[in-house]
């Protein structure tokens, strides 16, 4: 027998209690019962997103909310700045181009964070830019961007700052209202400990003004419709009722643990993983590592794709390989969501085992010992 363990940066494991909640009797969405759930969820979402602004939900994966931000904030011919330091930064550019929005690309070396000064220079060189798109954690490279500084730069202009926090939320600090972030995007299957299928998007007052004037085509993903219903504690279309019932439970769990404690837990697990990988003789890929996911360089003479495959098929553990140009060159272990000390130690042990099987010379247990030491008081 093998237990199956999800250690990839999404989907992440779902707590048993939440799974049971989602198996509850299905209720109709136009009822006082569901309105109560929705009211609770909407209030708690603001706390978890650390914002006083509305956090809207869509029945889609995270990319749906990314597309929602583009089609609702912008108009034909608008110009935007896209920070592209990996797969997900690129996605914002692809969506913008699909709708005829003009993009100014800031190409950051994969593995490095964006430089806020460059963002400022690009804003100065491109007057009239309507939005800047960034990621908090760029999951494909494992870096975390300095959103506080980027927000400081963007908030001095008329442009809005849109942050894809799909993987970073709850793992890396984000204070949207204080840092000048106008739109925060989330997804259910990462730090929010739910199955895939819900996306989230917060809307600042500055963003609401752009929404009023946007003329790009949209229907299902209309933020005007979503905001109008939100004000009446309703949703424009049938919401993902079961997922929202699960979300209600998740948000209680998160608020009970406390957002600061959750950040510390992710930071500790990430630190232990980073140090364990170094103890095993490997190098980290990211210059500024996120606490959501650790990206590690595959050692020379080791088949990176075989490593990920053996982890899954023989050890029962799903980690992530590299995407795009990084295929076979890095592997990524997540610390996201419903994870504790022993999940992390198990992942480190399995990586050590598989590396040895693939001919890499390392002493078994070295990574685990390092992690145990770091997490001794956990």
Ligand X SMILES: *Cc1c(COP(=O)(O)O)cnc(C)c1O
Q: Contact positions toward ligand X, by CB under 6 A?
A: 9-10, 61-63, 88, 135, 139, 164, 166-167, 187, 196
Q: Which is nearer to ligand X, 240 or 345 (CB)?
A: 240
Q: Which is nearer to ligand X, 58 or 230 (CB)?
A: 58
CB of 357 to ligand X, least distance (A): 29
Closest CA to 140 of 94, 87, 101: 87
| C-alpha distances in Å from residue 47, one per residue of 40, 243, 259, 290 | 11, 19, 9, 22
Closest CA to 142 of 287, 17, 265, 338: 287
Q: Which is nearer to ligand X, 196 or 281 (CB)?
A: 196
| Residue located via tokens 């600042």 | 204
Residue 235 contacts residue 29 (beta carbons within 8 Å): yes
Q: Which is nearer to ligand X, 164 or 343 (CB)?
A: 164
Q: Which is nearer to ligand X, 139 or 371 (CB)?
A: 139
CB of 142 to ligand X, least distance (A): 10
Closest CA to 47 of 345, 279, 252, 268: 252
Residue 321 contacts residue 169 (beta carbons within 8 Å): no
Q: Which is nearer to ligand X, 246 or 367 (CB)?
A: 246
Measured CA to CA, the distance from residue 29 to residue 352 in angstroms comes to: 48
Sign of the alpha-carbon dihedral angle for 309, 311, 313, 319: negative
């Amino acid at each position: 027998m093998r237990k199956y363990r999800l250690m990839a940066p999404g989907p992440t494991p779902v707590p048993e209690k939440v799974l049971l909640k989602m198996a509850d009797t299905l209720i109709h969405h136009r009822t006082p019962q569901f309105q109560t759930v929705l009211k609770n969820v909407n209030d708690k979402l603001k706390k978890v997103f650390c914002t006083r602004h509305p956090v809207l939900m869509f029945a889609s994966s995270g990319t749906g909310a990314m597309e929602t931000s583009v089609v609702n904030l912008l108009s034909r011919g608008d110009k935007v700045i896209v920070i592209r330091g990996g797969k997900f930064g690129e996605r914002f550019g692809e969506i913008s181009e699909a709708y005829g929005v003009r993009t100014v690309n800031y190409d950051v070396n994969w593995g490095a964070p964006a430089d806020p000064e460059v963002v400022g220079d690009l804003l100065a060189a491109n007057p009239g830019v309507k939005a800047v798109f960034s990621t908090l954690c760029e999951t494909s490279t494992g870096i975390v961007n300095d959103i506080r500084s980027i927000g400081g730069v963007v908030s001095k202009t008329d442009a809005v700052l849109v942050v894809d926090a799909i993987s970073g939320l709850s793992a890396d600090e984000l204070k949207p209202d204080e840092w000048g972030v106008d739109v925060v995007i989330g997804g259910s299957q990462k730090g929010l400990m739910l199955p895939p299928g819900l996306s989230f998007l917060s809307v600042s007052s500055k963003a609401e003004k752009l929404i009023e004037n946007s003329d790009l085509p949209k229907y299902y993903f209309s933020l005007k419709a979503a905001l109008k219903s939100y004000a009446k504690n309703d949703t424009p279309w049938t919401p993902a009722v079961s997922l929202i019932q699960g979300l209600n439970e998740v948000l209680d769990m998160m608020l009970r643990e406390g957002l600061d404690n959750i950040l510390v837990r992710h930071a500790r697990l990430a630190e232990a993983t980073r140090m364990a990988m170094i103890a095993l003789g490997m190098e980290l890929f990211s210059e500024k590592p996120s606490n959501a996911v650790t990206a590690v360089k595959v050692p020379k003479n080791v088949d990176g794709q075989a490593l990920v495959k053996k982890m899954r098929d023989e050890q029962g553990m799903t980690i992530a390989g590299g995407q795009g140009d990084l295929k076979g060159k890095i592997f990524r272990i997540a610390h996201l969501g419903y994870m504790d000390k022993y999940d992390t130690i198990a992942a480190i042990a399995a990586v050590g085992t598989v590396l040895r099987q693939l001919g890499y010379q390392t002493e078994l247990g070295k990574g685990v010992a390092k992690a145990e030491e770091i997490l001794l008081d956990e």
